[in-house]
Amino acid sequence: MEAFLVSLSTVAIAEMGDRTQLLALLLAARYRRPWPILAGVLCATLANHALAGIIGVRLGRFLTPTLLDATVGICMIVMALWALKADRPEEDSNLRRPGGAFLATLVAFFLAEIGDKTQIATVALAAAYSNLVAVVAGTTAAMMLATIPAVFLGRAFADRLPLKAMHYVASLVFVLIGALFLYRALHH
Q: What is the pLDDT of residue 166?
A: 67
pLDDT in tens, the chain (188 residues): 899 999 998 888 778 777 788 788 878 877 878 999 999 999 999 999 999 999 999 988 887 888 878 887 887 788 778 767 755 544 444 444 546 889 989 998 998 888 788 888 899 999 988 799 999 999 999 999 999 988 887 655 555 656 677 668 767 877 888 898 899 889 87
Domain count, the chain: 1
Identify whether the C-beta of residue 106 lies closer than 8 Å to the C-beta of residue 44.
yes
Q: Residue 71: give the domain boundaries.
A: 2-186
Residues constituting the chain: 188
Nearest CA among 7, 1, 2 for reference residue 125: 7
What pLDDT is stored for residue 155 in this prediction?
54
Q: What is the pLDDT of residue 51?
A: 96
pTM for this model (two decimals): 0.74
Q: Is 186 exposed, middle or buried (0-12, 13-18, 19+ CB in 10 A)?
A: exposed
**End-to-end CA distance of the chain, in Å?**
22
DSSP codes of every residue in 155-167? HHHHHHS-HHHHH
Residue 76: its H or E element: helix 65-83
The per-residue pLDDT for 52 is 94
DSSP codes, 85-130: SPP-PPP-GGGGSSSHHHHHHHHHHHHHHTT-HHHHHHHHHHHHH-
